[in-house]
Amino acid sequence: MTEPVVHIDNLTIQYPNNLVLNSLDWSIQQGENYIIGGTSGSGKTTIAKAIAGLIFTDNTVKVTFDDSKSLPAKVTYISNWYQFTNLEGDRNFYYQQRYNHHQGHDTLTVKAELEHFAKKENLDFSDIQQRVQDFGFEDVQSSQLIELSSGEHKKLQLVRGLWEKPQLLIIDEPYTGLDKNSRVVLNNWLDELVQEGVQLILITNDTLLPQSINRYAHLVDGKIEIVDSQADFAKDKKRQQKELPAFLRAIPETNFDTVAELNNIFIRYGDKVVLKDVSWKINVGEKWLLQGPNGSGKSTLLSLINGDHPQAYGHNLSLFGNKRGSGESIWDIKQKIGIISPEIHWYFDQNATVWHTIASGFYDSIGWFIDVKFQEKTQIEELLEFFDLMDVKNKNLHTLPLGKQRLALLARTIIKNPPLLVLDEPCQGLDNDQTKYFNDVVDELAHYGKTLIYVGHYVSQLPSCIEHKIVLEKGEVKAIENILETVA
């Protein structure tokens, strides 16, 4: 009998006041390709990192490679986030930096990053060119890493990891930020790799999976349980319906009829056109869906509206009834907007507690803020109670399960009851129940006069309040519709 690929014997991992894995035993045999799912915070990422050798396990985890295979005898772990660095090797970036093109040259280009990786791993760059094209990733080869959207960063992670063809490939949330076509491309590629001898462990609650997946497991009370299908995965508790805090049931005061009006907007970086002749009008109280493939210009378009893009000046752009550049400050604009995005999550202060995270929404900061007033403290406490975050209010945001992190950031987004909510792929990495919880809250907020811009790829994962849709493709408006059509 051949040895298992992975054998775990009595693995225990404990963080301060938190037992994550408890005397866990697990064996993965040749040919078994697993999905690990289950509740938020159950230890899925921890066990993946333990198998990949990224967490000390005191020899309780053994990985056995097949010497008869031509594939590299290694485990490759692809994390949920892409940890890129600047040219000096550190990660000291700030949120708006990706829009300041003159500062973008602090990082490698996509092509240079891939060439560097090829040299390091002794890979042939020509082997990956068709994959890059299939992913719709060829147009960003000259872009700096810091200029990429979250979906494009995920593609770069995946291209690097799958290019290696390791004997064991572990991907944490493989579909985060990917558009519909890219998910299909990824699943087909994974199936091809399995045919070549790669073994898979995917951490996801997504249901659109590679055909090669043949095993399912979840974590319960720190131990692994093998189940028959994803339907058997443990789920987070259903949301208990609560009344919105009174301050959020107050319709925001507005002395304008139009939240944003963009006319024939062109944005370019050198020879690269990011937005081309884009026009869009958003009236007070409208609920919009913004869609488009990865790299279509969605993030850049939103950056014009939320005040972060330096090229907003000099364009025919009005926000909240005032032409951009007519004397209002960026803080005047931000006071009227609540925003959540993968980029804000990525750049958020790693030392911020949940309480400080929510409080920072009053001042539109992603870290330090001045002392809050009594009424503001009251609103923070009301949102902590509303989102069931009271018991973790003094914990660092980044130590929480992803679902609770997203809820804390939603609380930050709405803390000042702004007239405009911009929710840019807010449910990345959440399972269907968590997504429904999140979107149910958005629907409740929508009843009280909020204007909404929501970015999402799948109609099944959207709030029901959406009324209009705008679709971008390669920087151009391809459709503006008043009735939401099923995108699937």
160-214 pLDDT, tens digit per residue, is 999 999 999 999 999 988 888 899 999 999 999 999 999 999 999 888 899 999 9
In whole angstroms, give the CA distance from residue 322 to residue 328: 8
How far CA 24 is from CA of 18, 169, 228, 342, in Å, comes to 15, 21, 19, 33
**Euclidean distance between the first and the last CA atom of the chain, given in angstroms as a whole number:** 45
Fold: same for 6-232 and 246-481: yes
pLDDT score for 488: 39
- DSSP bridge pairs for 260: 282, 319
- DSSP bridge pairs for 116: none
Phi-psi region of 248 (alpha: psi -120 to 50; beta: other; left: phi over 0): alpha
Q: Which tokens go with 211?
A: 């055909």
pLDDT score for 301: 92
Strands 258-269 and 337-340: unpaired
Phi–psi pair at 333, nearest 5 degrees:
-70, -50
CB 287, CB 467: distance < 8 Å = yes
In whole angstroms, give the CA distance from residue 122 to residue 115: 10
- DSSP bridge pairs for 35: 202, 216
- Going from N- to C-terminal start, the domains of the chain cover 6-232, 246-481
pLDDT score for 222: 94
Q: Which tokens go with 307?
A: 């005040």
Domain spanning 246-481: CATH 3.90.470.20: no
In whole angstroms, give the CA distance from residue 266 to residue 41: 43
How far CA 124 is from CA of 115, 116, 138, 273, in Å, comes to 9, 11, 17, 30
Which residue positions in the chain have pLDDT lower than 50? Answer: 84-104, 484-488
In whole angstroms, give the CA distance from residue 367 to residue 87: 25
In whole angstroms, give the CA distance from residue 228 to residue 216: 6
Closest CA to 300 of 104, 84, 451, 157: 104
pLDDT score for 263: 94
Q: What angle do CA 425, 433, 385 make, to 5 degrees?
A: 85
Domain spanning 6-232: CATH 2.60.40.10: no
